[in-house]
Amino acid sequence: MDKRVYFLMIVSFIIGMVELIIGGILDLIATDLQVSLGKAGFLITIFSLIFAIAGPILLIVTANVERKRLTLISLYVFLIGNIITVISSTYFIVFIGRVVTATSGALLIILCLVMAPRLVEEKYRGRAIGLVSMGVSASLVLGVPLGMTLGHSLGWRAPFILVCFLTVFSILGVHVFMDRVRPKPSIPLNKQLATLKSKKILFAHLTTFLFLAGHTTIYAYLNPFLQETMGLTGNWISIIYFIFGIAAVSGGGLGGTLADILGAKKTILSVTIIFATAIFLIPITTSWMPIFLVILIIWGIMSWAISPAMQSYLIETSPETSDIQQSLNNSSLHFGIAFGSFVGSIVIENISVVHNATVGGVLVVGSLLTAIISMISQTSTTK
């Protein structure tokens, strides 16, 4: 495995961390900037929406720019966005900082996903994508507790100061370790978007969307779920989040390895079936802590194991437009997170948090159906 892939994993971790890092310090931000918690929470919403929309657009706009140069430019812009956040004194300035970091960060994640498989032999492609996915999953899972720890100890700007230092480290690393990477020949926008008319492509992206939506329907409300069903508080909830985080981070690497060994199709189907089963079992096992923890670990591992397999599948399915497909799939992932959070809130308000896992499981079953439709519609040779 090319060592530069590990560096791209670190970069993806730094970028992804900013998305949810303020989740645990919303109260501090709201108090300091004199805004409501809802308004402070909108800083997460706007980041996720821009992150999902900007990636594919910027990838098309910058199609002819050499990849190392583009990565450096994006990192500098990302650094500026975080500096704006650190020095901000009003909500509006923080908002601007979030817009800048979301826009540049979206492109950076896609660049990492695009460059990683090009740095290795084809037989290691799934694992390379899996390592970058590990960086993304680690950032999303660990961003909240890290931001909470630093924010409550040193103030809400402290996490962003850390991100600034890590971004400078990344810039130096790209300068020293990364070689120039030529962009693929530009393909007309209408031809790239026309691929979505194909069932095999469209339903592949729907699979990612429904898979992450089902996951987030329960994960976004895991805290109240644990309080309601198991009566847990304080340290026990922190321990469960930590266990889940470790499992989720390992899932990206496992998914990439399985994609290389079993093939992308078998991995996607296997992971989705196991994932759906685990989610349906969650509310059933809350009375037996040891069994619940086993299911929790399986759920965590599978939650991010599909990403590298799906990326490999899209590369195999549409090699000419693989860059834009990876970008669109990343957008599907973030739209799925937003949609799952929305569905979960409806379930809590109208029924009970106890049923969030069941609703999430239904969405994952939907992702299994869309995956099958995509694979049945496949006409080219894939693994």
Q: Which residues contact 70 (CB under 8 A, 6 or more apart)?
A: 62, 107, 111
Q: What is the DSSP string of 140-186?
A: HHHHHHHHHHHHHHH-TTHHHHHHHHHHHHHHHHHHHHPPP-PPPPP
Determine the pLDDT at residue 383. 42
CATH of domain 192-383: 1.20.1250.20
Whole-number Å distance between alpha carbons of 240 and 237: 5
Q: Could you tell me which of 303, 9, 7, 24 has the C-alpha nearest to residue 143? A: 24
Segments of the chain scoring below 50 in pLDDT: 380-383
Amino acid symbol at 47: F
Q: Per the structure block, which two tokens stand in for 349?
A: 């308000």
Q: 306-363: per-residue pLDDT in tens? A: 888 898 898 888 887 777 787 788 888 888 887 887 888 888 878 888 899 999 999 9
Q: Which residue has the tokens 């190392």?
A: 68
List Cα–Cα distances, 251 to 76, 138, 248, 258, 264, in angstroms. 30, 10, 5, 10, 15
pLDDT at residue 185, rounded to an integer: 63
Task: Give the tokens for residue 364.
Answer: 């994952």
**Torsion angle, alpha carbons of 136, 139, 141, 144, to 10:** -150
Closest by alpha carbon to 95, among 163, 145, 139, 49?
A: 49
Could you tell me where in the chain the CATH 1.20.1250.20 domains are found? 1-186, 192-383
Q: What is the pLDDT of residue 189?
A: 60
Which pLDDT does position 225 carry in this prediction?
Answer: 87
**CA-to-CA dists, residue 258 to 270, 271, 307, angstroms:** 10, 10, 11
What pLDDT, on a 0 to 100 scale, did the predictor assign at position 214? 94
Would you state the structure tokens that stand for residue 329, as one six-digit string? 């799939």
On whether the CB atoms of residues 204 and 382 are closer than 8 A, the answer is no
Look at residue 193 in the predicted model and tell me its pLDDT: 65
pLDDT at 378: 60
Q: How far is CA 7 from the centre of its chain?
A: 18
Judge contact between 330 and 110, C-beta under 8 A: yes
Which overall architecture, per CATH, does domain 1-186 show?
A: Up-down Bundle (1.20)
What are the tens digits of pLDDT across the range 81-133?
Answer: 999 999 999 999 999 999 999 999 989 988 887 788 777 777 777 778 777 87
Give the integer Cα–Cα distance in Å for 228 and 214.
Answer: 20
Give the HSE-up count for residue 264: Cα atoms under 13 Å, Cβ half-sphere.
28
